[in-house]
């Protein structure tokens, strides 16, 4: 049963903020007070019932009811129109293969990244271009923040208690983007994963902050791919040992050059699998070599080790504005796989 309860507080904004902070119910930033009227408006944006339960959210195993999610969405500053995206993202996170318990409780600095695809992304104003991982866009900021507040208040991810991240990262406040489908020379993520173009989806991956991949000089794919291979082959990431499903987010200019030279996503994956490798001697010298579950036996005869176990385990998306930058997002590892779900009504019909 959901632990949603009503409380009465004095109508003083500073006192309300202090009370929520003292109870450990915030991310450290001020919240929008979740009054019954605001929560009712949020609930009106979906045909789910307030008492509907999506599942148990680790590591505390709190019940993720629609009402509890609506409260956290209000606190985050979401518009009601954003709420179906929040619901779909939570449904994706609660799938077993995402391993939310591990993502929440690990010492590793990772957080659920929400990637929105399809018509709803533009309709809701989810930013896909300039500063896509940064500030300035209400949909990105508040959808991502609603997820974080739910992870704290429903899942119990309080820093230093059940959230054991050694350092954490800024993306643990909010981590939500849209794919730049207009400037993507290939099929976007949701179509690649079997959904129709007109279906709006969310994809969840457990990622680190974006790591910049900078090449303003290369005018051919050879230079860009050499830069990417050199940048991502590092023994300090979980993906060097636990593999998993890392994400390459190509900027539109890098993507355009690669596509012009005949590279599709399959060819890019194969190239990076073969060439973004760590010499075995270096791979065995530090990092997580020998750690249980580190996949030491996947490539017993290889003189250099790849950053993902199979080419198809690399997720490739296109996002960002003009400028010859891309980003690499290492992930939690084999204990977590990405999940894509449609943004849908209660009966599963896509919106």
Domain ranges of the chain: 10-208+339-351, 209-330
Distance between CA atoms of residues 261 and 15, nearest Å: 60
The answer to which of 3-12, 53-62, 324-333 has the lowest mean pLDDT is 3-12
- Residue 302: both structure tokens together: 């290889």
Under the banding of pLDDT at 50, 70 and 90, the label for residue 6 is: confident
Alpha helices in the chain (DSSP H): 13-22, 36-43, 66-76, 83-93, 100-105, 119-124, 138-153, 189-192, 221-232, 252-260, 265-275, 280-283
- Tens digits of per-residue pLDDT, 175-211? 999 999 999 999 999 999 999 999 999 999 999 999 9
Dihedral angle of Cα 187, 189, 194, 198, to the nearest 10 degrees: -80
Dihedral angle of Cα 103, 104, 107, 111, to the nearest 10 degrees: 60
Distance between CA atoms of residues 62 and 157, nearest Å: 11
- Per-residue CA distances from 243 to 210, 235, 316 (Å): 17, 11, 15
Distance between CA atoms of residues 171 and 174, nearest Å: 5
Please compute the mean of the pLDDT values over residues 224-251 and round it to a whole number.
Answer: 96
Round the average pLDDT of the chain to a whole number and report it.
Answer: 95
Please compute the mean of the pLDDT values over residues 128-138 and round it to a whole number.
Answer: 98
Question: What pLDDT, on a 0 to 100 scale, did the predictor assign at position 318?
Answer: 98
- Tens digits of per-residue pLDDT, 210-223? 999 999 999 999 99
Question: What pLDDT, on a 0 to 100 scale, did the predictor assign at position 292?
Answer: 74
End-to-end CA gap in the chain:
28
Under the banding of pLDDT at 50, 70 and 90, the label for residue 2 is: low
- Tens digits of per-residue pLDDT, 98-116? 999 999 999 999 999 999 9
The answer to which of 39-43, 118-122, 184-188, 281-285 has the lowest mean pLDDT is 281-285
Please compute the mean of the pLDDT values over residues 143-157 and round it to a whole number.
Answer: 98
Question: What pLDDT, on a 0 to 100 scale, did the predictor assign at position 295?
Answer: 64
Under the banding of pLDDT at 50, 70 and 90, the label for residue 72 is: very high
Question: What pLDDT, on a 0 to 100 scale, did the predictor assign at position 253?
Answer: 98
Stronger pLDDT, 226 or 291, i.e. the higher one = 226
Given a cut of 90, whether residue 10 has pLDDT beyond it is: no
Question: What pLDDT, on a 0 to 100 scale, did the predictor assign at position 293?
Answer: 66
The answer to which of 10-24, 53-67, 274-288, 292-306 has the lowest mean pLDDT is 292-306
Helix (H) or strand (E) segment spanning residue 201: strand 201-207
Question: What pLDDT, on a 0 to 100 scale, did the predictor assign at position 1?
Answer: 52
Question: What pLDDT, on a 0 to 100 scale, did the predictor assign at position 216?
Answer: 95
Distance between CA atoms of residues 234 and 229, nearest Å: 10
Question: What pLDDT, on a 0 to 100 scale, did the predictor assign at position 335?
Answer: 86
Contact 156, 62 (CB under 8 A): yes
């Amino acid at each position: 049963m959901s632990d949603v309860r009503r409380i009465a507080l004095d109508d003083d904004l500073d006192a309300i903020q202090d009370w929520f902070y003292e109870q450990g119910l915030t991310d450290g930033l001020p919240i929008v007070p979740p009054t019954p009227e605001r929560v009712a408006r949020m609930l009106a944006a979906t045909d789910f019932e307030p008492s509907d339960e999506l599942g148990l959210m680790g590591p505390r195993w709190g019940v993720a009811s629609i009402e509890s999610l609506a409260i956290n969405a209000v606190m985050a500053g979401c518009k009601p129109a954003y709420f179906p995206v929040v619901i779909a993202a939570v449904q994706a996170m609660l799938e077993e293969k995402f391993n939310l318990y591990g993502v929440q409780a690990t010492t590793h600095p990772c957080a659920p990244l929400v990637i929105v695809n399809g018509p709803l992304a533009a309709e809701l104003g989810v930013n896909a271009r300039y500063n896509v991982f940064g500030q300035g866009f209400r949909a990105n900021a508040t959808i991502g923040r609603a997820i974080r507040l739910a992870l704290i208040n429903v899942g119990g991810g309080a820093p230093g208690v059940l959230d054991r991240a050694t350092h954490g990262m800024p993306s643990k406040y909010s981590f939500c983007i849209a794919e730049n489908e207009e400037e993507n020379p290939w099929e976007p993520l949701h179509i690649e994963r079997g959904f129709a173009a007109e279906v709006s989806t969310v994809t969840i991956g457990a990622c680190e902050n974006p790591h910049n991949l900078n090449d303003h000089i290369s005018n051919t794919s050879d230079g860009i791919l050499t830069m990417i291979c050199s940048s991502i082959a590092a023994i300090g990431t979980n993906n060097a040992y636990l593999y998993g499903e890392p994400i390459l987010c190509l900027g539109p200019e890098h993507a355009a050059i690669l596509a012009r030279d005949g590279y599709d996503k399959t060819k890019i994956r194969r190239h990076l699998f073969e060439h973004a490798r760590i010499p075995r001697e270096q791979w065995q010298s530090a990092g997580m070599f020998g750690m249980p579950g580190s996949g030491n036996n996947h490539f017993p005869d290889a003189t250099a080790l790849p950053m993902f176990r199979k080419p198809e385990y690399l997720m490739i998306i296109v996002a960002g504005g003009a400028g010859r930058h891309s980003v690499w997002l290492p992930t939690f590892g084999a204990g977590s796989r990405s999940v894509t779900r449609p943004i849908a009504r209660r009966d599963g019909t896509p919106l």
